[in-house]
């Protein structure tokens, strides 16, 4: 299946009602297969604490593995109704397998999966809208013909007027243009208009802004944010940490088919110091990495191959002791503000790209 990837940036403050359940290893990094579930009350949204409505998506102990032992291993997470929920993970983390399970193209081998309170299938499919990673438009049709064709599939449920759907995504004046003449950003917005034509309760997207320029991404997310304000729940699979950090109200870190951590972007960064030090250091010995990890001022340290990431309050103060270490060959040093990518690296021990 073609895989389903700005509005006003919104970040929520830490929620005192949120509880994060971890299953850490001795090293402090979630082990492959470990499950972390964050329960968050989203104030003012459907499905918030105290309401009886089901979450938009609930997975409990979900498993679907392929012969290579890849896929979904032990996934437990909950997507509150009304949220913009990001599934953040590297290629092979299980994002595409989960989307195929949501679409009903795969069946769970174990565990439970509920969409809007029901198991995946025909009954709930009409309540979901999809934006795939690959373009699925006919370049010879006009934008109006594209929407009209999709609208004909939703007659039992009903659909919003074509002009209204086009206006929501800023394409009202391009309805009679052929798809092949539209820019990449306009094509994405047309696919978004098609996805919301039947007024779905859940919008599922797979890396929808992949390949778009900055202006097109910003415009696309502006429309997503506007739709979310009307109560639409959005689930997006991505490995773009900047989008997840800026636009998602909640984020789950996927690693080797399990959820390593989940919460708001601010909660996931909570244990990080304000600065991040990225070192590329082939041949660094375990003993010297241990020395790096215990330097005064280092709050977290993680390693993946030759890449080491440290978070600290003052990265420059660490440079003199770092340069005294002798093993291997230090290739590069980069200092930046700590980000959600540093949190992912620290909590999972893996890289996003």
- Domain boundary (268, 295, 311) is at 268
For position 274, what pLDDT does the model report?
A: 86
For residue 336, count other CB atoms closer than 10 A to its CB. Answer: 12
Q: How confident is the model at residue 155 (pLDDT cuts 50, 70, 90)?
A: low
Distance CA 142, CA 238 (A): 29
Same domain, 39 and 140: yes
Using an 8 Å Cβ cutoff, are 216 and 209 in contact? yes
Residue 152 domain flag: yes
Mean pLDDT of 272-299: 91
For position 130, what pLDDT does the model report?
A: 94
Residue 6 domain flag: no
- Domain boundary (251, 268, 285) is at 268
Mean pLDDT of 59-86: 93
Same domain, 197 and 229: yes
Same domain, 309 and 232: no
For residue 202, count other CB atoms closer than 10 A to its CB. Answer: 21
Expressed in angstroms, the distance from the first to the final Cα of the chain is 22
Distance CA 177, CA 343 (A): 44
pLDDT single digits (tens) 243-264: 999 999 999 999 999 999 999 9
Same domain, 75 and 132: yes
Distance CA 94, CA 62 (A): 11
Same domain, 241 and 296: no
Mean pLDDT of 64-88: 93
Give me the domain span that covers residue 329. Answer: 275-337
Domain count, the chain: 2
- Specify the CATH number for the domain of residue 317: 3.30.70.100
Which tokens go with 342? 């540093």
This model's pTM is above 0.75: yes
Distance CA 3, CA 302 (A): 30
- Specify the CATH number for the domain of residue 112: 3.40.50.300
pLDDT of residue 185 exceeding 50, the answer is: yes
pLDDT of residue 41 exceeding 80, the answer is: no
Mean pLDDT of 323-340: 91
Same domain, 263 and 332: no
For position 353, what pLDDT does the model report?
A: 63
Q: How confident is the model at residue 157 (pLDDT cuts 50, 70, 90)?
A: low
Q: How confident is the model at residue 301 (pLDDT cuts 50, 70, 90)?
A: confident
pLDDT of residue 4 exceeding 90, the answer is: no
Using an 8 Å Cβ cutoff, are 278 and 336 in contact? yes
pLDDT single digits (tens) 208-225: 998 888 998 899 999 999
pLDDT of residue 193 exceeding 60, the answer is: yes
Q: Which residues of the chain form beta strands (DSSP E)? A: 19-21, 37-39, 57-65, 71-79, 84-88, 110-115, 128-131, 202-206, 233-238, 250-255, 258-263, 275-280, 298-304, 307-312, 332-337
- Domain boundary (222, 245, 268) is at 268
Residue 309 domain flag: yes
Same domain, 68 and 188: yes
Using an 8 Å Cβ cutoff, are 225 and 168 in contact? no
Residue 4 domain flag: no
CA neighbor of 234 nearest in space, from 267, 214, 209: 209
For position 158, what pLDDT does the model report?
A: 62
Share of residues in the chain with pLDDT > 90 (%): 58
Higher pLDDT, residue 50 or 278? 278
Same domain, 189 and 210: yes
Residue 328 domain flag: yes
Which tokens go with 129? 């809208």
Residue 352 domain flag: no
Q: Which residues of 117-184 form beta strands (DSSP E)? A: 128-131
Q: How confident is the model at residue 24 (pLDDT cuts 50, 70, 90)?
A: very low
For position 29, what pLDDT does the model report?
A: 33
pLDDT single digits (tens) 339-353: 888 888 888 877 776
For position 97, what pLDDT does the model report?
A: 93
pLDDT single digits (tens) 81-129: 999 999 998 888 899 999 999 998 999 999 999 999 999 888 788 899 9
Residue 60 domain flag: yes
Question: What is the chain's mean pLDDT, rounded?
Answer: 83
Same domain, 327 and 291: yes
Window from 2-11, 34-43, 62-71, 244-253 with minimum mean pLDDT: 34-43
Same domain, 246 and 279: no
Residue 34 domain flag: yes
Same domain, 236 and 313: no
Q: How confident is the model at residue 53 (pLDDT cuts 50, 70, 90)?
A: low
Same domain, 47 and 131: yes
For position 153, what pLDDT does the model report?
A: 80
């Amino acid at each position: 299946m073609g895989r389903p990837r700005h509005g006003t940036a919104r970040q929520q403050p830490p929620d005192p009602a949120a509880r994060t359940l971890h299953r850490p290893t001795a090293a402090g990094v979630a082990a492959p297969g470990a499950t972390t579930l964050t329960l968050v009350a989203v104030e003012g949204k459907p499905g918030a604490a105290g309401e009886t409505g089901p979450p938009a998506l609930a997975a409990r102990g979900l498993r679907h593995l392929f012969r290579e032992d890849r896929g979904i291993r032990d996934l437990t997470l909950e997507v509150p109704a009304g949220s913009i929920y990001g599934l953040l993970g590297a290629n092979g983390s299980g994002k595409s397998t989960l989307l195929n399970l949501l679409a009903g193209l795969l069946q769970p081998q174990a565990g439970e999966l509920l969409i809007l309170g029901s198991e995946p299938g025909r009954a709930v499919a009409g309540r979901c809208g999809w934006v795939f990673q690959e373009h699925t438009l006919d370049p010879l049709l006009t934008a109006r013909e594209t929407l009209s064709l999709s609208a004909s599939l939703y007659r039992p449920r009903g659909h919003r007027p074509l002009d209204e759907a086009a206006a929501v995504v800023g394409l009202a004046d391009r309805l009679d243009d052929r798809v092949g003449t539209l820019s990449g950003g306009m094509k994405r917005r047309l696919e978004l208009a098609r996805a919301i034509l039947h007024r779905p309760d859940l919008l599922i997207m797979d890396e929808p802004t992949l390949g778009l320029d900055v202006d097109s991404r910003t415009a696309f997310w502006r429309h997503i944010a506007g739709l979310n304000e009307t109560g639409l729940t959005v689930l997006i699979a991505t490995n773009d940490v900047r989008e997840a950090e800026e636009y998602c109200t909640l984020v789950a870190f996927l690693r080797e088919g399990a959820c390593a951590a989940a919460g708001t972007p601010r909660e996931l960064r909570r244990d990080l110091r304000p600065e991040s030090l990225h070192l590329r250091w082939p041949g660094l010995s375990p003993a010297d990495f241990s020395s790096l990890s215990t330097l005064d001022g280092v709050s977290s340290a993680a390693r993946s191959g030759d890449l080491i990431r440290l978070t600290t309050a003052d990265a420059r103060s660490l440079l003199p002791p770092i340069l005294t270490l002798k093993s291997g060959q230090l290739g590069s040093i980069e200092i930046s503000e700590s980000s959600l990518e540093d949190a992912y690296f620290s909590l999972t021990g893996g890289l996003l790209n």
